[in-house]
Amino acid sequence: MSTQTADRLKLIWPPVLIAVLFLSAWQLLVVVRDIKPYLLPAPSLIAENFFGDIALMWQTALYTGTTAFLGLVFGTIVGLVMALLAQRFIVVNNLVTPLAAGLAAVPIIALTPILNNMFSITSRTPRVLVTAIIVLFPIFVNVTRGLIQVQPVQLELMRSMNAQPRTVLRALRIPNAIPFFFTAMKVAAPLAVIAALVAEYFGGPQQGLGSRIAGSAANTAYGRAWAYVVAAIITGLMFYLIVVAIERWTTPWTGRTRSA
Angle at which helices 54-89 and 125-148 cross, to 10°: 40
Q: 175 in helix, strand or coil?
A: helix
**Of 55, 89, 160, 218, the one binding other proteins by CB under 8 A:** 160
Q: Does 100 sit near other proteins (CB under 8 A)?
A: no
Binding mask 173-202 for other proteins (x = CB under 8 A): --x--x------------------------
Distance CA(14)–CA(19), nearest Å, equals 9
Show the binding pattern over residues 198-237: x = contacts other proteins (CB under 8 A), - = does not: ----------------------------------------
Q: How many helices (H) and strands (E) does the chain have?
A: 11, 0
Q: Pick the piece of the chain touching other proteins (CB under 8 A) from 48-56, 129-137, 152-160, 202-210.
A: 152-160
Cα gap 124→211, rounded to integer Å: 13
Q: Per CB under 8 A, does 3 bind other proteins? A: no
Of 4, 10, 11, 256, the one binding other proteins (CB under 8 A) is 256
User: Rounded CA gap, 141 and 243, in Å?
Assistant: 18
For residue 252, the minimal CB distance to other proteins (Å) is: 8
Indicate the burial class of 225 (C-beta count within 10 angstroms; 0-12, 13-18, 19 or more). Answer: buried
Contacts with other proteins: how many residues (CB under 8 A)? 23
Interaction between residue 166 and other proteins (CB under 8 A): no
- Rounded Cα distance, 25 and 19, in Å: 10
Q: Amino acid identity of 71?
A: G
Q: Give the three-class secondary structure for 91.
A: coil
Using rule CB under 8 A, residue 151 touches other proteins = yes
Give the SS3 label for residue 218: helix
- Least distance CB 251 / other proteins (angstroms): 7
Which residue, 143 or 209, has its beta carbon nearer to other proteins?
143
Angle at 27 between CA 23 and CA 33, to 5 degrees: 140
Query: Alpha-carbon distance 147 to 180, whole Å?
Result: 9
The distance of closest approach from Cβ of residue 87 to other proteins in the complex, given in angstroms and rounded to an integer, is 18
Span from 43-51, 113-121, 158-166, 202-210 in contact with other proteins (CB under 8 A): 158-166
Q: Does 97 bind other proteins (CB under 8 A)?
A: no
Q: Which stretch binds other proteins (CB under 8 A): 15-23, 40-48, 89-97, 171-179?
A: 171-179
CA dist., res. 110 & res. 113, Å (int): 7
Considering only residues 132, 172, 184, 188, which one is a binding residue for other proteins as defined by CB under 8 A?
A: 172
CB of 161 to other proteins, least distance (A): 5
Name the nearest CA neighbour of 66 among 258, 239, 246. 239
Is position 153 an interface residue for other proteins (rule: CB under 8 A)? Answer: yes
Contacts with other proteins, residue ranges (CB under 8 A): 151, 153-154, 156-157, 159-163, 167, 171-172, 175, 178, 251-253, 256-260
